[in-house]
Amino acid sequence: MTGRGRPVVAIVQAAGPIHLGRSGGPSPLAGRSIGSDSLSAALRGVAEDDKVETVVLRVDSPGGSAVASDAIHREILRLKEKKPVVASMGSVAGSGGYFISMPCTEIVSNATTLTGSIGVLAGKQVTQGGLDRLGIHRALVSTGPFAGMLSSQRGFTEQEWDLLSRFLDDVYADFTRKAADDRGMSIDQLEPLARGRVWSGAQAADIGLVDRVGGLSDAVLRACALADIDPDEADTRISPKLGPLDRFMPAENSNSPVASLFGEGHALVDRAMASLGLGSTGVLTMAPIRWR
């Protein structure tokens, strides 16, 4: 239990693949996932919590969506303006997992953490041939020159390959530029360490991609040191943490702990109402218009 008046070290968890929307899991098959909406709400919540003096972002992720990772990256930069943020890397923090770690005030990695992988990857699986052998036939109807670009019914055309390559080049340039800025390097220093290469945590510390080697407890100590608080006088808590009644209440705003887990209007009561056809899409919904 948090002591009255004691400073708080908030641990925000970021485990699983990164995607847009709300976080998922844990589930037996898919495990956990990191939704940009949920994690961003959690970060905004600890930023506005006066009891929280410093934050540890516990990252265990192989990455995922570039857009979602960038949204989280922006929230960490905003949080860092108010209080220190220390990334604590688990078993893997690569690609998007590294993307959301690199803006933190400091990065603490396990010696064996798979980290780095500053690179981009894209493609698609073409399944139509297998479906044809099963007697399943589908028709592709396109409304524009690139409408079927990501369809699994055919491969890329040369023009589509060129478009995809240019898109990936732009994403890679953005990744390396931001990584260089976050780590205080020039792009000429950072780029040879990128190119999709994966490093152990110990190697990453030697080349400057992380600041030090250590576990979660070491990250908590570093967070306390950066906030100039005595770790023996501080309380550590997982954030966001909901009370029994919080789960039944709708989110008041995007900083609410309920929003970080369920999104606006998705508390348990709202879910039950929606199952009865009585739910609302949100409080910023225009009332029905009746024409006379």
Is 88 a known active-site residue?
Answer: no
- Return the SS3 of 272: helix
Query: Which tens digit of pLDDT belongs to each residue from 34-60?
Result: 999 999 999 999 999 999 999 999 999
Give pTM, 2 decimals.
0.81
Q: Does residue 283 have a pLDDT over 50?
A: no
Count of residues making up the chain: 292
pLDDT score of 292 more than 80: no
- Residue-range domains of the chain with CATH: 8-117+197-241 (3.90.226.10), 119-181 (no CATH)
Q: Are 83 and 227 in contact (CB under 8 A)?
A: yes
- Options 61, 65, 88, 95, the catalytic residue: 95
Q: Find the mean pLDDT for residues 238-246.
A: 67
CA-based end-to-end distance of the chain? 60
Span of 25-29, 90-94, 144-148, 260-264 with lowest mean pLDDT: 260-264
Contacts of 201 (CB under 8 A, 6+ apart): 89, 109, 110, 111, 112, 113, 115, 210, 213
**Is the pLDDT reported for residue 220 higher than 60?**
yes
Determine if the peptide bond prior to 250 is cis (ω within 30°).
no
Model confidence pLDDT, tens digit, residues 103-126 = 999 999 999 999 999 999 888 888
SS3 101: coil
pLDDT at 142: 72
The residue whose two tokens read 């960490």 is 76
